[in-house]
Homo-oligomer: A and B are copies of this chain.
């Protein structure tokens, strides 16, 4: 990814999130989708993506299916029912985290906001 360190822990949530609004996605498509949706800010590397997808599948949160496009293989992923529940939890957790960090970091010279 781009911001490297900061993204840690967010990858699986991002993948789940993307799968929650698309019936199915394959790896490469997912990287392009995230790239586009993030304004080229989040670039998921293959070395991160595939292990992450494999782990999600091993954990039973997604299932996959090979599809041949001509001679080329694509592996489509989709959420399982447990995966859908996990997605909701995962998003909530990430939201909570973002909120906490924002509150901790926010009042800062340069972006100073007077007390209410």
Q: Which residues of A contact B (CB under 8 A)?
A: 3-10, 13-14, 17, 20-21, 34, 37-39, 41-42, 88, 91, 93-98, 100-105, 107-111
Copies of this chain, whole number: 2
Chain B residues contacting A42 (CB-CB under 8 Å) are: 100, 104
Chain B residues contacting A20 (CB-CB under 8 Å) are: 108-109
Q: In the bound complex, do residue B93 and residue A105 qualify as a contact, i.e. CB atoms below 8 Å apart?
A: no
A37 and B101 CA atoms in complex are apart in Å by 10
Given the contacts A9-B8, A10-B6, A97-B3, A91 and B103 also touching, CB distance less than 8 Å:
no
> How far in angstroms is the closest Cβ of chain B from A70?
32
Q: In the bound complex, do residue B13 and residue A9 qualify as a contact, i.e. CB atoms below 8 Å apart?
A: no
Q: In the bound complex, do residue B38 and residue A100 qualify as a contact, i.e. CB atoms below 8 Å apart?
A: yes
Q: In the bound complex, do residue A104 and residue B14 qualify as a contact, i.e. CB atoms below 8 Å apart?
A: yes
7 nearest A-B residue pairs (beta carbon): A5-B9, A8-B8, A6-B9, A6-B97, A41-B100, A3-B97, A38-B100
